[in-house]
Chains A and B, each alone.
Chain A
């Protein structure tokens, strides 16, 4: 895998994780009515940060797929699940039980094996 492909893969992880975390930060805003909640949501900077990240990720994913086979892209992209979960634990104190940790290790190992020989 070329250095450029590795760069796009890492950028994809950063954008995907930031996008999910920003959406989560925007979604936890509490308001009295659903209408007020949506109003606050649409004027919340994290929501637009998240939307921007996902738009940029769209182009970055295309750039990555222009450099690597689809199968490799999909296998490597699975690491996003793990990074988002670790970030969720770190920033929002989300639960990480033994089953989740086991799942995260299996995915990480799977990604390492898939990408190792590429």
Chain B
């Protein structure tokens, strides 16, 4: 597999798993209703299937992350591990019909710019002994 294709599939899978996890979290919390400090609320959370979707998403993201880290430079990998914010915002608007104010959209751009800065800083660190992709 070419390096480019490996990274594209790997980072895509990571973002997909992270997005599915957050989507399932929201669906689980919506199903349970507004937080109440009671066992009933916890039971509503842990007895609905969406919470297990979130767990599966976590496991998938963990495996993908560890595979990526073995081959990919840490900078872009670090950025990709946080850039799910973009896909989750898209899903929030399209699937849940949430409304983003102009200030929030601008805030999201700043956050993404910040993550890119952090990723560049990570990339400038001495190179690790990462293996080439398979």
Residues of A within 8 A of B (CB): 4, 8, 59, 61-63, 65-67, 69-72, 74-75, 78, 81, 85, 97, 99-100, 102-118
Contact = CB atoms under 8 A, between A and B. Distances in A.
B15 to A, nearest CB: 13
27 contacts: A62-B51, A63-B29, A66-B29, A66-B32, A66-B33, A67-B35, A70-B88, A70-B91, A71-B89, A71-B100, A71-B104, A75-B85, A81-B114, A97-B124, A100-B118, A102-B117, A104-B118, A105-B114, A106-B114, A106-B117, A107-B111, A107-B114, A108-B114, A110-B114, A112-B107, A113-B104, A114-B108
A75 B89 CA distance: 9
B41 to A, nearest CB: 8
Majority-rule SS of B interface residues: helix
B128 interface: no
A67 B85 contact: no
